[in-house]
Structure 1
Amino acid sequence: MKNRYIFTILSVLLCYVSIACQSQSDYIYSVRGGADQVLHENEPSRAEKEKRWKEGFAYVTKVIDGDTFWVDNGTESFKVRFIGIDAPETRNSRWKKKGYYASESKKFVQTQTEHQWVRLEFDIQSMDKYKRRLAYIYLEDGTFLNASLVEQGYAVVDTYPPNVKYVEQFIDLQKQARETKQGLWGELPE
């Protein structure tokens, strides 16, 4: 009798834990690197992400700054660094200081990409020493985001061989942005 009672209690407890874990897994998933993220309210399913990845698109889950974000392709989440440009840092690090126009740059990228689909175009070198994927970013409407960031003064040209496919275009856009005082090329606040 006592064993049956213990077995019943353990069975009920196991069912409760199983249901709780299942419902929580609908909202939380583990990102490579160990961090947990809460899914966005209208985030596509894993199957949808895998399908769109095969079509060349990834889903942006979090923007780090004006030239780096996280994407999810349905099977893995990974950090992407924009090729050919450098946006101001949003915080101090060991190597760089927080930069002028950093929050504006990050906000622009957030409004264009966060919780949306982007197409990633890779060049010769696909990963940097920090294990970030290197890519040219295109919005669903075809906008070339790397170029747009330089053109509007949210980033500067910063190209490293062998990934130099669009370097001339970026240099021309930066020259125009400087001449017209766009973004970070504008007047400094007093």
Structure 2
Amino acid sequence: MQQWIDRIRFITPSKKTCQKVGWVLALVVVLYVALTRANIIQVPRLSRSLQQHQPGMHRVVRVDDGDTLTVARSGQVDQVRMLGVNTPEIHHPEKPVQCYGDRAAQFSRDLIGEEVRLAADPLDDNRDVYGRLLRYVYTPDGTHVNARLISEGYGFAYMRFRFQKRPQYRKLQRVARKNNRGLWGACQLTENQYGAPETVPVRQ
């Protein structure tokens, strides 16, 4: 029995040894954090396949124009109309291509990328008269696409219907117009049948 007790005492580290080990581990952690922040050590990122399955994100099939996109959700394909913003037309069956329409579409394509998060508005309908989902659109990093289109001058705040972000969008449009951003400085403007602003066609 005494022989086993002596063996346990032999393999059990002393308090001083434990303290040394603790200091060494702490030093390793500090060095790792410092090297990581300096980009000397690269922290592995999620693979593309894992990123494409983040909860709440939907795969973008295509961006149809500045304010419309098509996504894959719940095993089906849905067209999404961005809430509260109206960009110049490029595919309207009854209207010619309007000034800044192509630029707005390209801006949305560049900004949106491969995935989006969609959010409904409790004050507005779920779908419009064409069956499109009415949604706020966000990129994976949280960028609010609807708001960016208005603030950068690629689209108008669409005030015809009620929605929660009306005051925010109205303010963004006022600033964009004051600073002649995008279409406000590049296009001739007119009004549609509802009294809302729109750009004149590229070819009349």
| TM-score w.r.t. length of structure 1 | 0.67
In structure 2, the gaps of 5 or more residues are 1-47, 189-204
How big is each residue's C-alpha offset from its partner over 1:18-42, in whole Å with a ceiling of 9 and x where there is no partner?
xxxxxxxxxxxxxxxxxxxxxxxxx
Name the counterpart of 1:108: 107
Residues 131/187 of structure 1: CA separation in 2 closer, same or farther (3 Å cut): closer
Question: For residue 158 of structure 2, what is the amino acid of its counterpart?
Answer: D
Match of residue 129 from structure 1 = 129
Task: State the shift of 1:44 in Å.
Answer: 5.8
**Pairing of 1:11-160 with structure 2 (within 5 A):** 51-52=53-54, 55-73=55-73, 75-94=75-94, 96-114=95-113, 116-124=114-122, 125-160=125-160
Structure 1: state its 5+ residue gaps: 1-42
Q: SS where residue 176 of structure 2 aligns? A: helix
Please give the root-mean-square deviation of Cα atoms over the aligned residues, in Å: 2.1
> How far did 1:74 drift?
5.1
1:103 deviates by 0.5
Structure number with larger C-alpha Rg = 2
2:112 and 2:145 in contact (8 A); partners too? no
Q: Which residue of 1 aligns with 2:25?
A: none
Cα distance in 1 between the residues matched to 2:118 and 2:81? 10
Code of the residue aligned with 1:120 in structure 2: it is: L
Displacement of 1:139 in angstroms is 0.8
CA distance in 2, matches of 1:92, 1:143: 27
Flag the 1:152–1:80 CA change in 2: closer, same or farther, 3 A: same
- Spell out structure 1 runs of 4+ moving beyond 2 A: 159-162
Report the equivalent of 1:16.
none
Aligned to 2:11: none
**What is the one-letter code of the residue matched to 1:131?**
G
Partners in 2 of 1:92 and 1:161 — Cα distance? 20
Structure-2 separation of matches of 1:187 and 1:66 = 17
Moved more, 177-186 or 96-105: 96-105
Task: Give the Å deviation of 1:183.
Answer: 0.5
Indicate the SS of the match to 1:171.
helix
Q: Which residue of 2 aligns with 1:181?
A: 180
How far residue 56 of structure 1 moved from its aligned partner, in angstroms, is 1.5
* Structure 2 CA distance for partners of 1:165 and 1:76, relative to 1, 3 Å: same
Distance of aligned partners of 1:76 and 1:104 in 2 relative to their CA distance in 1, 3 Å threshold: same
Is 1:87–1:156's contact at 8 Å kept on the other side of the alignment?
A: yes
- Share of identical aligned residues, percent? 31
Q: Name the SS of the counterpart of 2:116 in structure 1.
A: strand
Shift of the 66–73 alpha-carbon distance from structure 1 to 2, 3 Å rule, reads same
Partner of 1:165: 164
Matched to 1:61, the amino acid is V
